Structures are given as structure tokens and as C-alpha cells.
Amino acid sequence: MIVDKAWNRNRLRCALSDALSGRGHVASFLPFLLTVYCLIALFLCGFGPATIVDRDVAPRQRYTVGQLRQIQQAHAPPPGISAVSVLVYDLESGRELMEKASHLPVSPASLAKLMTALLVFEQDRLAERVTIQQADLIGEATMGLSAGEELGVEELLWGLLIPSGNDAAMALARHHAGQVDAFVEQMNLRAGDLGMRDTLFHNPTGFDADGQVSSAHDLLTLVRLLWEYPLFREIVGTSSTTVANRELQSTNRLLGSYSGANGVKTGTTRQSGQSLIAGVDVGGHQLFAMVLGSVDRYQDMRLVLQSVRGNYSWVPLRMPKRPTALDRLFDAEGNRWILRADGINVDPAAMEAIPFFERLLAGWERGELQVFRRLHPPPSGVWTTGMPAGILEWRLGDSLIATQRLFVQ
């Protein structure tokens, strides 16, 4: 046996020597051996570096493949729309619900008049009178002004925003800055102040001009500021009216034809195509939807709004009407007490409470909404009617979004 073992060791040395020197059949197996070693290394490394999380435990809930697909589909415009840029924004929650190329600079057409209107509102000279000059009458969309007549600034705002009057835009620009060119400089300075980096104006009307551009994101900035003026909301929400003995008809055909439509403006030129910023009241919540560079803006807008309403809804946070474990407690003697909720604090540190709070939720977020009860037993251990009992915590995933005070009933 000793001789056999020595002979085997010698044979193994020879085989290894042959392999290292390139001789024998072992050399042909080297690529295979290298592959095996690589696979073993991958398994030992776990197929990549360790995942870093910002807490000691992994998130208690992960999105499924179906939820991820739903998120992607909800945030993107529906297929088949022609608009080159889309943006949908909920004013109350400050949440973008849908987006496509929202920073893409495009010709704004008459949506440039929103900046014209903003400067006029901010100067707050609505009671002043303006004498119309021949240079103001530049044609195309008009409120029907004539040289030599005199109108108030507020009247011109109606003509600017309802029929999208270019004559009204020129008259307002000249009146507020002395010259139209000086007013355009003010438009660009204000755009810079507001961080509108995708925007450059060359005129107050929106006529096509080389380099005159804006984006859905920048135009949303204007709409949000203008919406703070009650007169602006009144004007853009009016489908037709009489101003200075003129019948004015809004260019926004959604008004009166789409439920909840309450503004704001259209824009159309050969270079820009059709554009529309729509304001829509959805159950008391203000929504702004934009389609820019469209072939059929109203069809595109209806598809966009239909998709948004199918994917998002406002959910009220309130105690269930049916008895549940949340509204009952038992004392040490086995007596049952009923709890009532006295309002919701959106900010847990706030003092004022409202009867209930609504939260804008996407379909995939509804399963993450949970409510927890935290009781605060009295030191005596005895409950009495009207005594504070604790709070309900409304949570969306791991985030506390509202609290609700509980009292013994």
C-alpha cells in the first residue's frame, strides 16, 4: 500500500506538471475550471454588493410587479394622444399626477398672455383708463377695439383672457410700461424671478417668433400665481359675457361642456399647434391639466382627464359609521365604553381640528392606508363620559399623515 500511494503521488505531480507546462489533456480543461471558479465567486458575493437601507429593518411593504406597472401607466399620458407635452397637477396636494416632457420648450402661442395678465394684476392699476391707439390693432384674435376709444384696464383684461384679444394685450403692455418692448423686458425679468428657465418672451401676445418659448412646467408656475386673484378666476371661468358693449366668447370650449371645468386658457398658432390649459374642479379640489402642441387638444384633454380620474381619487379619513374595534374599549370591570372622534389634525402639532380630512390617493396607495388607535388610560384607571381617550393615527405606509382625537362617549 505504501508503494502504491507513493506511485499515485508521483503520478499526480506529473499530471499537474503537464497541466502547468501546457502538456497533456488537462490543459484543455482550464477554460472550464475558470468558469467554475467564477460562478463560485458570484455565489459567494451574492450577485452584487449589499443593499443599503436607511433603517435597521427592511421596508414592511414592497410594490408588486402589477403595482409598479400601474404606477408607470398612471403617470404617463394615455396612448394615442397627439400632444408633445402633458402635465397634470393637483393644487391642494401639490402633486404632479401625469407628466410628459413638461420641461420641453415649445412655442406658447396665446398662453404667453398669462404672463401679460400676471404683470397687470401685480401692478394693481385696474381702475386706470387706457386710450386705444392704432398700433394696438394688430389683428387675428381680437376683442374688437377701435383707435381712439377708451376702456378700463379691468375691461381689457376680460378682452385679453376670454377671446384672447391681441389688441387688448398690446394696449395693456403699452399702458403699463410706456412701450411694448419695455413690457416684454418686464415679462422676461419676471420669468427669471420665478425660475422659469424654459421661457423666453418676444411679445405680449404669443405670436410666433424665433426663440419665443415656454414649457408646461413654467406655465404651471404662472397659473398657480394667477389663481390667487379672484378676478382672474372669475374671468377665465366665464364662457361668454358682455364687456364695454362687446359680446365676448371664450376660446376655451371645455367651459360648459365638461363637468367641473372652470378655466383657464387656450393657445393656437401655426408653429405651436393647439394648446390648452384646463382648470377642473374635482369634488372641491382644483386640478390643472395641460396639453401643448396637440393636433386635437380637446380630445387629448378628455383622454388625459379620464385617465387621471381613473387612477386617483380623494379618500376621506373618518371614523367608520359601523361599530368596530376602533370605537370600543373595556375598563377593568368589563364595562364597555364607546369612543367618538372629534376631528382631524392634518399637522399633529396643530391645535385646530376639522371634521375629516381628505387625502389624494392613487389606486396602488389605497392598500397602504391604515389607522391605528393609541389609548391614553386615565391615572385612576376609571373612564368617564367626555374624557379624552387617546388618538387615531392615520398612516400611509410608514408616514403619519393625520391624527384624530378620541373621547369617551
How far is it, in rounded angstroms, from Cα 294 to Cα 267? 10
User: Choosing from 85, 113, 265, 272, which is the catalytic residue?
Assistant: 113
For residue 136, which of 105, 97, 100, 176 has the smallest C-alpha distance? 176
Confidence of residue 62 (pLDDT cuts 50, 70, 90): low
**Tell me, what's the pLDDT at 328?**
82
For 292, phi then psi, to 5°, come to -120, 145
Per-residue pLDDT tens for 41-60? Answer: 444 443 333 222 233 333 44
Residue 130 C-alpha from the chain's centroid: 39
User: Could you tell me the three cell numbers for 312?
Assistant: 386617483
Q: Is the pLDDT of residue 88 over 80?
A: yes
For residue 204, which of 156, 240, 241, 245 has the smallest C-alpha distance? 156
User: Choosing from 85, 102, 107, 110, which is the catalytic residue?
Assistant: 110
**Tell me, what's the pLDDT at 59?**
44
**Tell me, what's the pLDDT at 285?**
95
One-letter amino acid for residue 240 of the chain: S
User: Could you tell me the three cell numbers for 99?
Assistant: 407628466
User: Choosing from 102, 107, 164, 272, which is the catalytic residue?
Assistant: 164
How far is it, in rounded angstroms, from Cα 275 to Cα 297? 6
One-letter amino acid for residue 17 of the chain: S
347 or 308, which is more confident? 308
User: Could you tell me the three cell numbers for 256?
Assistant: 360648459
**Tell me, what's the pLDDT at 98?**
95
**Tell me, what's the pLDDT at 24?**
45
Mean pLDDT of 363-369: 84
Question: Contact at 8 Å (CB) between 106 and 87?
Answer: no
One-letter amino acid for residue 244 of the chain: A
**Tell me, what's the pLDDT at 355?**
58
Q: What distances in angstroms separate CA 383 from CA 92, 331, 337, 374, 403, one per listed residue?
A: 39, 7, 8, 15, 22
Per-residue pLDDT tens for 336-347? Answer: 888 888 776 766
The share of the chain scoring above pLDDT 70, in percent, equals: 77
Half-sphere exposure of 72 toward its Cβ, with a 13 Å CA cutoff? 7
Helix/strand/coil for 209? coil
Mean pLDDT of 14-21: 46
Q: Is the pLDDT of residue 13 over 60?
A: no
**Tell me, what's the pLDDT at 33?**
53
Q: Is 265 a catalytic residue?
A: no
14 or 295, which is more confident? 295
DSSP characters for 121-133? HHHT-TT-EEE--
Per-residue pLDDT tens for 148-188? Answer: 999 999 999 999 999 999 999 999 999 999 999 999 999 99
Half-sphere exposure of 109 toward its Cβ, with a 13 Å CA cutoff? 21
State the Cα angle at 108 between 212 and 112, rounded to 5°: 85
**Tell me, what's the pLDDT at 32?**
57
Question: Contact at 8 Å (CB) between 331 and 337?
Answer: yes
Mean pLDDT of 124-137: 97
Helix/strand/coil for 151? strand
Q: Is 113 a catalytic residue?
A: yes
**Can you give the pTM of this predicted structure?**
0.78
**Tell me, what's the pLDDT at 51?**
28
How far is it, in rounded angstroms, from Cα 166 to Cα 204? 8
173 or 61, which is more confident? 173
**Tell me, what's the pLDDT at 369?**
87
How far is it, in rounded angstroms, from Cα 107 to Cα 267? 9
Q: Is the pLDDT of residue 75 over 90?
A: no
Per-residue pLDDT tens for 349-359? Answer: 554 555 567 88
Question: Contact at 8 Å (CB) between 140 and 304?
Answer: no
**Tell me, what's the pLDDT at 73?**
67
Q: Is the pLDDT of residue 223 over 50?
A: yes
Q: Is the pLDDT of residue 23 over 60?
A: no
Contacts of 403 (CB under 8 A, 6+ apart): 344, 345, 348, 391, 392, 393, 394
**Tell me, what's the pLDDT at 31?**
56
Mean pLDDT of 259-288: 96
Mean pLDDT of 210-224: 98
Question: Contact at 8 Å (CB) between 137 and 114?
Answer: no
**Tell me, what's the pLDDT at 2?**
38
Q: What is the mean pLDDT of the chain?
A: 84
**Tell me, what's the pLDDT at 4?**
45
Per-residue pLDDT tens for 97-112? Answer: 999 999 999 999 999 9
Q: Is the pLDDT of residue 373 over 60?
A: yes
The overall longest dimension of the chain from CA atoms, in Å, is: 126
Confidence of residue 364 (pLDDT cuts 50, 70, 90): confident
How far is it, in rounded angstroms, from Cα 360 to Cα 225? 22
How far is it, in rounded angstroms, from Cα 252 to Cα 161? 10
